Amino acid sequence: MPDTKDKDFLALQDYSAEEIWAILKLAKKIKSDPAGYGGRLSGKNVLLLFQKPSTRTRVSFEVAIRELGGNSVSLGWGGSQLGRGETIADTARVLSRYVQCVVARVYQHNDLEEMAQHADIPVVNALSDLFHPCQIVGDLLTIWEHFNSLEGRKLAYIGDANNVCNSLLIGCSKMGVRIAVACPQEFQPEAKILKMATENADERGSSVEVFIDPLKAAQDADVIYTDVFVSMGLENERSGRLKIFLPTYQVTVDLLKHAFNNAVFMHCLPAHRGEEVTDEVMDGPRSIVWDQSENRLHSAKSVLASII
């Protein structure tokens, strides 16, 4: 089993396929026997440092830490000295003397990189503007559970090439999942993300495709995945974005017909019903969003148990 102790969890690109598989397998074991891992973080303290609002990430990590026998300390960015001008480097040095891990949800990914550079403890990316690796570990676990495989499956992501899309591109390509992304021309993935994903896919004999037409991306997909069209911090762009994305990129029952007959629908949540997805899909028989959401807890446990 790969040794990831004390390793930061900032982006899935930093992890090998073998290391990601180890985290997924451990998550599955923990899910099937939570009591058996109840002391995994005994005596350990984990700081939750949140700059942005959260439901699933915040609750899943707090519960994960407690159920693994550890102790969580919550701190808002603005409520700490970071909000009054203390440098990230100095904060990281201090926190390293108090806790065994920092789980941070931030606006700027480079803030996480700076914290990890100066901390003597592992730092977990609980969401940044660039990546959301914890979400994708839970997603991969969900797909693996549902189909009993990952390699060779196809995921179609429809919508904005945001942090979730970036991490899906990296995570899927690392694990041999074919991924097709459909976005408006002005909201397509960055070249550096596509380069990493394409190189990963080449190594695994998989594929990465980018389309403007969502129906082309959905063709023969096992999973149709979407996220909000207006991410946190972009509220001032809301009206303009909705004009571009709607109705073309909304996941509907008709769009699902272009995927395989047994294809499932996934959404990282929160969902803006009636925008990126209809109620009929969200609450329909092909939706596995609640299993996906539950797996955020089990994957959070696995990530923590793997690095602390």
DSSP 8-state secondary structure symbol assigned to residue 189:
P
| Secondary structure (H, E, C), the chain | CCCCCCCCECCHHHCCHHHHHHHHHHHHHHHHCHHHHCCCCCCCEEEEEECCCCCHHHHHHHHHHHHCCCEEEEEECCCCHHHHCCCHHHHHHHHCCCCCEEEEECCCHHHHHHHHHHCCCCEEECCCCCCCHHHHHHHHHHHHHHHCCCCCCEEEEECCCCHHHHHHHHHHHHCCCEEEEECCHHHCCCHHHHHHHHHHHHHHCCCEEEECCHHHHHCCCCEEEECCCCCCCCHHHHHHHHHHHCCCCCECHHHHCCCCCCCEEEECCCCCECCCECHHHHCCCCECHHHHHHHHHHHHHHHHHHHC
Cα(8)–Cα(86) distance, integer angstroms: 22
87 phi/psi in degrees, rounded to 5: -70, 155
Q: Which of 61, 98, 66 is nearest to 80 (CA)?
A: 98
What positions carry a catalytic annotation? 105, 132, 135, 227, 268, 296
